[in-house]
Amino acid sequence: MIAARGYAALLTPLAQSALSRDYRYFRERQASEPAACLYVACLVLARSLLRLESPAWQQILGPERAAFDHLNRRALRPGDPLRYAIQALWLLCVRPAAWARLSRRLARFAAMLDGGLRRGQSWLAARYAGFMDSHAVRQATPWQDASARAAGHSLTVARRAAMVAGLALSAPLAAWCITQPLNWNSLFIFVLALWCLALVIRRLPGRMPALMLIALSVIVSCRYLWWRYTSTLHWDDPLDAGFGIALVVAETHSWLVLMLGYLQTAWPLRREPTPLPADTGSWPSVDLFIPTYNEDLSVVAPTVHAALNMDWPKGKLKVYILDDGKREAFREFAAACGAGYLTRPDNRHAKAGNLNHALARTDGELLALFDCDHVPARSFLQLTVGGFLKDRRLALVQTPHHFFSPDPFERNLGIFRSLPNENILFYGLIQDGNDTWDATFFCGSCAVLRRSAVEEIGGFAVETVTEDAHTALRLHRAGYASAYLRIPQAAGLATESLAAHIGQRMRWARGMVQIFRRDNPMLGKGLSLAQRLCYLNSTLHFLAGVPRLVYLLAPLAFLLLHAYIIYAPAIAIALYVLPHMALAAITNSRLQGRYRHSFWSEVYETVLAWYIAWPTTAALIMPSKGRFNVTAKGGQIEKTYFDWKMASPYLLLAALNCAGLGFGFWRLATGPADETFTVLITMAWVLYNLTIIGVAIAVATEAGQARRRSRVATELPCNLALRDGSSYPAVLLDYADDGAGLRLPRPGLVRQDDAVMLTLLHGGGEYLFPAMVQRAQGDAVDLALAPMDAGRHRDYMRCTFGRAHAWLDWTDGFPEDRPLRSFFGLVSMCGRGYAQLARHAPEPAQRVLRLTRTTAYWVASFAPRPIPSHAAWVEVTQP
């Protein structure tokens, strides 16, 4: 009050009223009395020192004051004068309009470049379309017909001579290209030219551009490896030498996998099914085996019903349940539905022993094998058996494993049906590529084998834990052929938790290395060179545990221990490593982009690396048979939790990498200046590692699933009959063994707990299934199907899982692979992973994290904000 009277004496009435208005404004904004006085004083200072009424200031302060919205909308806080000042300064300096114009211009320029590039590509494609995809280029290789191969006429003399001549010409050229050293300028131009060429070629359709890209990538990668071996292996320090050798070995492994991968996937065969003869009397008899051990009957019953529904002449198909669990319920079930039931006194050799036991007690000409949760479609036999009749030496036809439930990656990262899963690369591309070289191997399920061939090699292989691949190897050695049909005719359940998934992969890894040690595909007779290399690549893929760990820890050798792992200047690293990685990424994106997006291979490898490193190394040294751990099928995860046990290796790796990052900053601050570039590159590498590890941590957060059974998404017409006699056409949106989801024509037709009849339409017939409404939201209805007897269950399988075209869209609906976009997607998943880790962390850690977060938000609140776009008053035309 005294102060007020003092002001009254000093100021004119106008100034007095202005000041008291401002004071009242600040008090309304919930500032305390002294704070309000302080703010008023600041305002007076601002008005006297700065010319707030000048046009430049008015433009910023503006009638709407939209620029200060984020501050005006809440109560005043102590630091607010500083915040206002920073925002005003930023607006003065930055000129959002100019920035917006600049970014628009840049976007237009980029679009123009992209458009020009695409026009050039389409011109090239149109002009050389005949050349790119000509019939001569697409012609099948001679290895498709194994009978011809057995007769020894696979390669005519002329063809052989042409191949030899081609090799004789190109080998020295390639060797010169790879080993010729270049100085920095030439190397830069060379690498730039190759990169531009790759960018142009990669969008052109056809097989030829893919082969050209492979050639470019092979040149660059071989140059890189040659340079590594010839120029970077000098070490004075034993520590340097140790780490350096580890890294070189890891890189050699990756190079080998890359090269063999190109060989495997350069030319997918895309085999067509062989039609069966019209006379069904000549069709062979088939025994269908469904081995089971400890799975629930509810998991096996759909498979048995679908198998009984298969389209095959009556009497020529016999379905057998091979029950190693010797359960009475299964015996009764088999008797009730007309399937055979076989069991044995012991459980020696697990699944392989089970199959061999059944082999001796059945007599069909062909064997069809299905895992107990792989539900076959009705057309499986009609698509696969034709080849056996045409080709006497064909012993195996394999079809893809498709999963209608999400695997741990898809479920925990939330990418089910929006990104290709781990499975699709192998069954969509690699097996297809193997088929070109007649190296398709048996995958344990969804396949048909010739009984005489299996008996000739002594039954299913029991010496290793992956009896399927070993059996296929033995069949190949005996001179039989194998085929792969890239049409999914069965679908099953994916592993339901990360622990189960890793357990399954560990078994595969151990088994493949056991095969490598005991029955090495590179040695021994009976295999062609290409077959050996394909088997070798499969083994090398599972030996990637140790190299991946090396990659994850290599930058730390420099940052933590100051060990020089690559003896080369930073510029050399940039000019050799970056093109090698870039071209490999571009080529793989082109070859595999439909089946696996960029950078996801690193994620899958990282998740498995720690777990398969030891078993594979042990199996390399001591290949005695490990324990066959059965993959648990059909379980479910109730609620979300963080799998600490599984995630502990990733946490360790992340902690080490974070330590490396910290050391990196320290070295930047205190180390010698000429090392700065090296430290920066190494820290970038560490950041990349942290991103991949973050995604692995995100996978370790097990997301709970609300439903007991996974639903298969679909869109089929169906009818719903209500109790009152009215019926409505509906659309079946998803189905499972015990429930279905529908969309009705309009909301409000059913209520919860209504009893309804679901009619599914199939093959001109209508099949009814009583159900109860579990949930009705708008026009979407969730039904629980009433328990069904065997006959009705079979009808249900016929209408849903057993449809011939049920899984044909398995690779549809995935977006195109864009490497940068894929990487940024991974970055966001990595962020979620670390956030989940923080959320599930123990309490002391959570307190620290909360404190850090609060501090970070407080600091960030001082940052200036851009003006929201609707306040377009800044768009005053400026010269």
Block residue for tokens 């590529």: 433
User: Which residue among 599, 767, 796, 807 contacts another protein (CB under 8 A)?
Assistant: 767
Q: Catalytic pick from 438, 468, 738, 817? A: 468
Q: Catalytic pick from 80, 240, 324, 435? A: 324
Catalytic: 114?
no
609: left (phi over 0), alpha (psi -120 to 50) or beta: alpha
Nearer to another protein by Cβ, of 256 and 722: the residue is 722
Kindly list the distances between the CA atom of residue 804 and the CA atoms of 536, 549, 730, 782, 801, in Å, as whole numbers in the listed order: 35, 44, 22, 25, 9
- CB of residue 646 vs another protein: minimum separation in angstroms? 49
Block residue for tokens 């008015």: 58
DSSP code per residue over 338-365: T-EEE--S--TTHHHHHHHHHHHT---S
| 729 lies in the binding site for another protein (CB under 8 A) | yes
User: Which residue among 57, 90, 567, 728 contacts another protein (CB under 8 A)?
Assistant: 728
777: left (phi over 0), alpha (psi -120 to 50) or beta: beta
Q: Crossing angle for the helix pair 545-561 and 644-670, nearest 10 degrees?
A: 30
- CB of residue 759 vs another protein: minimum separation in angstroms? 6
Tokens of 316: 């020529």
Stretch that binds another protein, among 244-252, 311-319, 718-726, 790-798 (CB under 8 A): 718-726
User: Which residue among 725, 787, 844, 879 contacts another protein (CB under 8 A)?
Assistant: 725
- Whether 583 and 221 have beta carbons less than 8 Å apart is answered as yes
- CB of residue 740 vs another protein: minimum separation in angstroms? 17
- CB of residue 794 vs another protein: minimum separation in angstroms? 15
Residue type, 613: A
- CB of residue 530 vs another protein: minimum separation in angstroms? 52
User: Which residue among 338, 704, 745, 815 contacts another protein (CB under 8 A)?
Assistant: 745
| 764 lies in the binding site for another protein (CB under 8 A) | yes
| 747 lies in the binding site for another protein (CB under 8 A) | no
Stretch that binds another protein, among 304-312, 351-359, 605-613, 763-771 (CB under 8 A): 763-771
Catalytic: 324?
yes
Report 96-125 residues binding another protein (CB under 8 A): none
- CB of residue 785 vs another protein: minimum separation in angstroms? 16
Q: Which residues contact 618 (CB under 8 A, 6 or more apart)?
A: 510
- Whether 61 and 867 have beta carbons less than 8 Å apart is answered as no
| 768 lies in the binding site for another protein (CB under 8 A) | yes
User: Which residue among 726, 777, 877, 878 contacts another protein (CB under 8 A)?
Assistant: 726
Stretch that binds another protein, among 215-223, 233-241, 743-751, 852-860 (CB under 8 A): 743-751
Stretch that binds another protein, among 42-50, 382-390, 762-770, 839-847 (CB under 8 A): 762-770
Nearer to another protein by Cβ, of 275 and 791: the residue is 791
CA dist., res. 616 & res. 620, Å (int): 6
- Whether 533 and 486 have beta carbons less than 8 Å apart is answered as no
| DSSP β-ladder status, 394-398 and 340-342 | unpaired
- CB of residue 768 vs another protein: minimum separation in angstroms? 5
Stretch that binds another protein, among 486-494, 571-579, 704-712, 741-749 (CB under 8 A): 741-749
- Whether 199 and 586 have beta carbons less than 8 Å apart is answered as yes
| End-to-end CA separation in angstroms for the chain | 52
Nearer to another protein by Cβ, of 212 and 730: the residue is 730
| 791 lies in the binding site for another protein (CB under 8 A) | no
- Number of residues this chain uses to bind another protein (CB under 8 A): 18
Nearer to another protein by Cβ, of 663 and 767: the residue is 767
The arrangement of strands across the sheet holding 366-369 comes to: 340-342, 317-323, 286-292, 366-369, 447-450, 394-398, 481-484
Among candidate residues 487, 446, 456, the one with its CA nearest the CA of residue 288: 446
Tokens of 171: 């080998």
Stretch that binds another protein, among 127-135, 459-467, 669-677, 720-728 (CB under 8 A): 720-728
CA dist., res. 684 & res. 183, Å (int): 26
- CB of residue 770 vs another protein: minimum separation in angstroms? 10
How far does Cα 33 stand from its chain's mean position? Answer: 60
- CB of residue 779 vs another protein: minimum separation in angstroms? 10
| 670 lies in the binding site for another protein (CB under 8 A) | no
Among candidate residues 694, 693, 683, 499, the one with its CA nearest the CA of residue 606: 693
User: Which residue among 746, 777, 843, 870 contacts another protein (CB under 8 A)?
Assistant: 746
User: Any idea which residues carry the catalytic annotation?
Assistant: 324, 468
Binding site for another protein (CB under 8 A): 719, 721, 724-729, 744-746, 757, 759, 764-768
